[in-house]
Amino acid sequence: MQPNSKQNGAGPAPKTQTIREYGDVSAIRNNVVHLQDTPGSEFIGSSIEFAGTGNVLFVEDGSRLRNCRLRFMGNDAVIHLRKSHGFLRLIATVFEESVFYLGPGATFTSEARVLPTERKHVIVGSDAMFSSRVAFRTADPHLIYSVQDRQRVNPSQSIWVGDHVWLGEDTLLLKGSRVGSGSILAARALITKNVPSNSTAAGVPGRIVSRGIFSTRPSVHGFTEARTAQSLVHDGDEFIYSADGNVTDMKLLEDELGAATSGIGRAAWCFQLDQLEGKNRFYIV
């Protein structure tokens, strides 16, 4: 963990511990918290609840939280949040031994909802563009069994989202979703499977409706006629992804995360992911 993180273990912890301002961090017991009032940081209309022990919260210095509600509803879970371009706007509930990782540079139109459960995880890369009411769920959540053999048929699965992904309004990502870098999830898309890099997925359930595309960040809402004319061609290739030696094995990464036996171990995995370099690290064919 970071050197200024707080891990307070003296005395019994109350059943639920809550942070509503920076000064509350020092009172948290039996959990690790890195949330500091540093230059540029804000903590507005937000709260963080701990209903367990061994959990780890890391909020990168300088982050601005607005209307966030972060909850730990079990033990040894992790929320790892990197600094965004603007405000972090999240309603996230993590359960026993699950991880929510958000890479740097995200933007939000409204609060995204994140629910990692049953020791599965939500991993989002850098430069994500969240439109309104985006949601993630790693579980159904109720149990479903086969009539023939009584075996469970709906295991929970982690969700992975690559770098520079545009998540459209009302997008819902369910268990097992894997979205490659540079992709677009259309408004109201229901994502349940792989979305290749530089593709658009749309519909319910989501299907690939275009390939070989990329998006850039400027919003057209305020464009003048001249700005529209200037936007007709983008010569850069910074958002075009391809296979190279830096492509990661997401299954291997998740196996490494699954091998962790504590919140601290899972937090260490998140810091290692921060150091994972290569433009094409989350390329999906």
Q: Mean per-residue pLDDT for 261-275?
A: 98
Residue 15: per-residue pLDDT = 85
Residue 6: per-residue pLDDT = 52
Considering the domain boundaries, does residue 285 fall inside one? no
Considering the domain boundaries, does residue 106 fall inside one? yes
Q: Return d(Cα 18, Cα 69) in angstroms, integer.
A: 10
Domain that holds residue 174: 6-145+153-274
Confidence of residue 257 (pLDDT cuts 50, 70, 90): very high
Residue 3: per-residue pLDDT = 40
Q: Mean per-residue pLDDT for 28-51?
A: 97
* pLDDT over 70 (residue 8): no
Considering the domain boundaries, does residue 252 fall inside one? yes
C-alpha dist (Å) from residue 12 to 16, 23, 35, 180, 189: 11, 20, 22, 44, 45
Confidence of residue 26 (pLDDT cuts 50, 70, 90): very high
Q: Read off the pTM.
A: 0.94
Residue 192: per-residue pLDDT = 97
Residue 4: per-residue pLDDT = 46
Residue 2: per-residue pLDDT = 52
pLDDT digits (tens, 9 = 90+) for 136-160: 999 998 999 999 999 999 999 999 9
270 within 8 A of 257, measured Cβ to Cβ: no
Q: Return d(Cα 57, Cα 51) in angstroms, integer.
A: 13
Considering the domain boundaries, does residue 112 fall inside one? yes
157 within 8 A of 192, measured Cβ to Cβ: no
Considering the domain boundaries, does residue 280 fall inside one? no
Residue 52: per-residue pLDDT = 97
Q: Rounded mean pLDDT of the chain?
A: 95
Q: Return d(Cα 188, Cα 76) in angstroms, integer.
A: 33
User: How many domains does the chain fold into?
Assistant: 1
pLDDT digits (tens, 9 = 90+) for 111-125: 999 999 999 999 999
Strands (DSSP E) found in 169-249: 172-173, 178-179, 184-185, 190-191, 194-195, 199-202, 207-211
Considering the domain boundaries, does residue 283 fall inside one? no
Q: Fill in the amino acid letter for 102.
A: L
Segment (H or E) for 114? strand 112-115
* pLDDT over 80 (residue 47): yes
| Percentage above 70 pLDDT, the chain | 95
CATH code for the domain in which residue 200 is found: 2.160.10.10
